[in-house]
């Protein structure tokens, strides 16, 4: 389950992982539900990350399946607007961060992170994670986020290498200063 709110619409959005359903709530209760299953993909699908663009009232849902995709939903009408296909699969837990000022979405996948320009739907930057024993060794890696990462995942991230540092920012200004 993931939750996001759009205060200007007075709505709370909840995704229900394997059910592939988006529920929308306001002060009266459930306003509506939307099934966003990709019928072109057979088998396993799981939604596990949700971010919202409060200016455009768009929801971005990361779907884990054989193919990696971001489902784009209009927060007012609850209509699926787009499906952005990414390379590889999302065969692990991941997170997303939306930079509204640049209209870019950072998606952390199993093999690394991808930065997507939402106006062109293209990956503009890739940040691969090298497997142990492959690629150049890093002495220091700093991960900066505004999202809370569960303790068990923090341990896994820090366990990747001795020089991994996690920094949690409370505001967009703090985040920009850190990066």
Sign of CA dihedral 133, 63, 86, 140: negative
CA angle 47, 125, 150 (to 5 degrees): 40
Q: What pLDDT sits at residue 43? A: 61
Closest to 84 measured CA to CA, from 70, 63, 68: 70
Q: What are phi and psi of 89, to 5 degrees?
A: -120, 165
Query: What pLDDT is recorded for position 117?
Result: 92
Residue 118's pLDDT is what?
Answer: 92
Beta bridge pairs of residue 50: 61
What is the pLDDT, as a whole number, of residue 104?
Answer: 92
Q: Indicate the helix (H) or strand (E) that contains 153.
A: helix 151-158
pTM confidence score:
0.66
Q: Can you give the pLDDT at residue 136? A: 55
Return d(Cα 130, Cα 11) in angstroms, integer. Answer: 40
Tell me the C-alpha distance between 101 and 19, whole Å. Answer: 32
Report H helices in 54-118: none
Q: What pLDDT does residue 137 have?
A: 57
Q: What is the pLDDT of residue 61?
A: 86
77 CB-side CA count, 13 A: 7
Cβ neighbors of 39 (< 8 A, separation 6 or more) are: none
Q: Which of 161, 156, 159, 157 is nearest to 139 (CA)?
A: 161
Residue 120 pLDDT = 92
Res 41: pLDDT: 59
Average pLDDT across each block of 10 residues of the chain; the chain has 179 residues. List them in order: 81 71 73 70 71 90 78 87 75 74 84 85 80 62 82 79 83 82
């Amino acid at each position: 389950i993931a939750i996001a709110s759009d205060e200007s619409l007075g709505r709370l959005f909840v995704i229900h992982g394997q059910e592939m359903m988006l529920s929308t709530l306001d002060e009266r209760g459930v306003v509506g539900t939307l099934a966003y299953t990709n019928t072109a993909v057979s088998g396993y699908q799981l939604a596990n990350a949700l971010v919202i663009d409060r200016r455009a009232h768009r929801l971005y849902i990361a779907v884990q399946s054989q193919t990696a995709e971001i489902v784009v939903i209009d927060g007012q009408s609850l209509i699926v607007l787009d499906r952005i296909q990414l390379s590889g699969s999302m065969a692990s837990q991941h997170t997303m961060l939306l930079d509204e000022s640049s209209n870019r979405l950072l998606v952390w996948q199993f093999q690394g992170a991808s930065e997507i320009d939402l106006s062109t739907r293209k990956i503009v930057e890739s940040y691969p994670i090298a497997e142990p024993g492959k690629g150049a060794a890093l002495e220091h890696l700093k991960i900066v986020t505004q999202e809370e990462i569960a303790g068990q995942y923090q341990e896994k991230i820090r366990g990747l290498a001795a020089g991994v540092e996690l920094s949690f920012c409370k505001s967009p200004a703090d985040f920009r200063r850190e990066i």
